[in-house]
Amino acid sequence: MYSDGINYMKSRQPSYLNFDKKDYPWKPDINYRASPWKYRVGKGEQGVLICEPYKSEIGQHWRFKTEAIAEESSDTIFAMFEDYLKAADFVGADMARKYLQMGYTRARRYANYKGGKKYDKDQDYALLERGTGDLEKAAAADVFYKRWKQAEANAQYAAMKKQWKDERG
* pLDDT, averaged across the chain: 87
- For the stretch 33-90, pLDDT in tens is 999 999 999 888 888 999 999 999 999 999 999 999 999 999 999 999 999 999 999 9
pTM as predicted: 0.82
What distance in Å separates the CA atoms of residue 136 and residue 64, rounded to the nearest whole number? 9
In a domain, 3, yes or no: no
In a domain, 55, yes or no: yes
- For the stretch 120-134, pLDDT in tens is 777 777 776 777 667
In a domain, 1, yes or no: no
Torsion angle defined by CA atoms of residues 148, 154, 157 and 161, in that order, rounded to the nearest 10 degrees: 70
In a domain, 128, yes or no: yes
Task: Give the number of domains in the chain.
Answer: 1
Closest by CA position to 164, among listed 97, 94, 101: 94
In a domain, 125, yes or no: yes
What distance in Å separates the CA atoms of residue 62 and residue 48, rounded to the nearest whole number? 12
43 is in which domain, residue-wise? Answer: 8-167
